[in-house]
């Protein structure tokens, strides 16, 4: 069964665009990693500082391996100072089917 995550990150006031840009760079980075099927970055239509991330991976191990990448760690470090609050965790999804 595929492994999915849906999460949201809120940037400090006025930094939603900067946070989205960092996450878009993350999407380009993980695109080439083994097991990544989807890494989608979206902004909230009502709150410009709220960014949603939807991920689908072949399995949890592939996702966990991506977090060990030095390039991914660097982007996480870049995003942390502009977060309004610490990430509270993503919702794990049971991916049944999709295209």
Q: What is the pLDDT of residue 96?
A: 87
33 within domain boundaries = yes
99 within domain boundaries = no
How many domains, the chain?
Answer: 1
What pTM did the predictor assign?
Answer: 0.91
Tell me if residue 78 falls in helix, strand or coil: helix
Q: What is the pLDDT of residue 88?
A: 74
> Which tens digits make up the pLDDT trace of 17-62?
999 999 999 999 999 999 999 999 999 999 999 999 999 999 999 9
Q: What is the pLDDT of residue 79?
A: 97
Model confidence at 86: pLDDT above 90:
no
Q: What is the pLDDT of residue 98?
A: 83
Where residue 46 sits, what CATH number does that domain have? 3.30.70.100
Helix (H) or strand (E) holding 50, with range, is strand 50-57
Domain of residue 6, residue span: 2-85
- Cβ contact 37:20 at 8 Å: no
The 10 Å CB-count burial string (b at 16+, else e) for 50-85 is bbebebbbeeeebbeebeeeeebeebeeebeebbee
41 within domain boundaries = yes
95 within domain boundaries = no
| C-alpha span between 74 and 7 (Å, rounded) | 19
37 within domain boundaries = yes
């Amino acid at each position: 069964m595929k492994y999915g995550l849906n999460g949201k990150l809120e940037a400090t006031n006025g930094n939603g665009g900067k946070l989205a840009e960092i996450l878009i760079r993350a999407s380009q980075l993980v695109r080439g990693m083994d097991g990544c099927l989807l890494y989608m970055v979206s902004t909230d239509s009502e709150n410009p500082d709220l960014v949603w991330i939807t991920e689908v991976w072949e399995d949890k191990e592939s996702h966990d391996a991506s977090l060990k990448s030095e390039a991914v760690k660097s982007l996480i470090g870049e995003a942390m100072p502009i977060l309004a609050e610490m990430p509270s965790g993503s919702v794990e999804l049971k991916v049944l089917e999709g295209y």
